[in-house]
């Protein structure tokens, strides 16, 4: 475990420098490269963070070594040498000759305190367990809410708009469409069997902007962004102690949304582009004002 923690520290330090460099260069990269290329860069960094191996280089930028353990060996002094050279006195009569039972001294071995490496390993495992338990509890609570309140969407216009959005992206399959109260914006949920959730109610969604919203969620579905977000969550759990990994997760989520926005805007008219911009601003406002019940 200590060797694994040492390799993990080397990986997180060296890769953290790459994360910081990409973060600082984001304004420059955004001028020349679309958001999907930044997503590929974050994906490569995430995979590297999950490989606890330090690929040795002739002069590696970050290399850690375990602390050396020194054992003190007592050396005989000059007085001890003289004592050993002197003739030993005549032995005293043993206890068995005097009819007494010899007593064997018993020495108690003191318990050794845990090493700092063991304490750090336990701290890392506890932090990773708490991180995963917190997100798992939120996921179970969300799906319990969906099982209770979500239902099939019976509006034929919505299904027709979803087919048009899938055709525009050249998709062969579309996710199942459900409606659920309490949501602020449409969203895609589920790793193995994703479903597309639509809000219901008078404040739910604008039907005029519905095709654009569905196209955005279909982009997430086509790009398998939910799996990417799951990978980012796993990397964040393993490297919960590194603030740069938290920064990478935030930047990657932002680039995923921008990549879908750029794909939706392709081929739209100027009026639809303006409408989509207002739609993004309104979605951000709804998300900040309303929380999941």
The string of DSSP codes covering 216-262 is HHHHHHHHTHHHHHHHHHHHHHHTTT-HHHHHHHHHHHHHHHHHHHH
Q: Of 223, 216, 193, 221, nearest to 265 (Cα)?
A: 216
pLDDT score for 183: 83
Q: Which has more pLDDT, 135 or 101?
A: 135
Beta bridge partners of 178: 152, 197
Q: What's the pLDDT tens digit per position in 74-128?
A: 555 555 544 454 455 555 454 444 455 555 555 555 566 667 778 888 999 999 9
pLDDT at 133 over 90: yes
What's the predicted TM-score (pTM) here?
A: 0.76
Helix, strand or coil for residue 291? coil
Domain boundaries, the chain: 2-51+122-289
Does position 247 have pLDDT exceeding 80, yes or no?
A: yes
Confidence of residue 292 (pLDDT cuts 50, 70, 90): very low
Q: What is the pLDDT of residues 12-30, one digit of tens each?
A: 999 999 999 999 998 888 8
pLDDT for the residue 199? 85
Alpha-carbon radius of gyration of the chain: 32
């Amino acid at each position: 475990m200590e060797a694994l923690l040492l390799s993990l520290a080397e990986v997180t330090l060296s890769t953290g420098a790459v994360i910081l460099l990409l973060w600082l260069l984001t304004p420059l990269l955004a001028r020349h490269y679309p958001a999907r290329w930044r997503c590929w860069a974050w994906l490569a960094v995430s995979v590297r963070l999950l490989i606890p191996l330090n690929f040795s280089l002739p002069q590696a930028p970050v290399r850690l070594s375990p602390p050396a353990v020194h054992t003190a060996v007592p050396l005989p002094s000059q007085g001890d040498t003289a004592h050993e050279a002197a003739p030993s006195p005549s032995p005293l009569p043993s206890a068995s000759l005097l009819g007494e039972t010899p007593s064997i001294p018993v020495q108690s071995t003191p318990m050794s305190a845990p090493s700092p490496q063991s304490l750090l390993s336990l701290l890392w495992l506890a932090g990773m367990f708490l991180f995963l338990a917190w997100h798992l509890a939120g996921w179970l609570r969300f799906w319990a809410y969906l099982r209770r309140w979500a239902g099939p969407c019976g509006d034929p216009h919505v299904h027709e708009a979803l087919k048009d959005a899938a055709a525009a992206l050249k998709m062969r399959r579309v996710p199942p469409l459900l409606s659920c109260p309490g949501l602020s914006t449409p969203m895609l949920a589920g790793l193995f069997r994703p479903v597309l959730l639509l809000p219901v109610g008078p404040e739910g969604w604008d039907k005029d902007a519905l095709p654009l919203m569905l196209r955005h969620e279909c982009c997430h579905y086509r790009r398998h962004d939910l799996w990417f977000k799951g990978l980012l969550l796993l990397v964040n759990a393993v490297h919960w102690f590194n603030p740069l990994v938290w920064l990478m997760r935030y930047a990657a989520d932002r680039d995923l949304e921008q990549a879908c926005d750029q794909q939706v805007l392709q081929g739209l008219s100027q009026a639809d582009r303006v409408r989509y911009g207002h739609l993004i601003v309104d979605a951000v406002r709804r998300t900040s004002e309303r929380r999941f019940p």
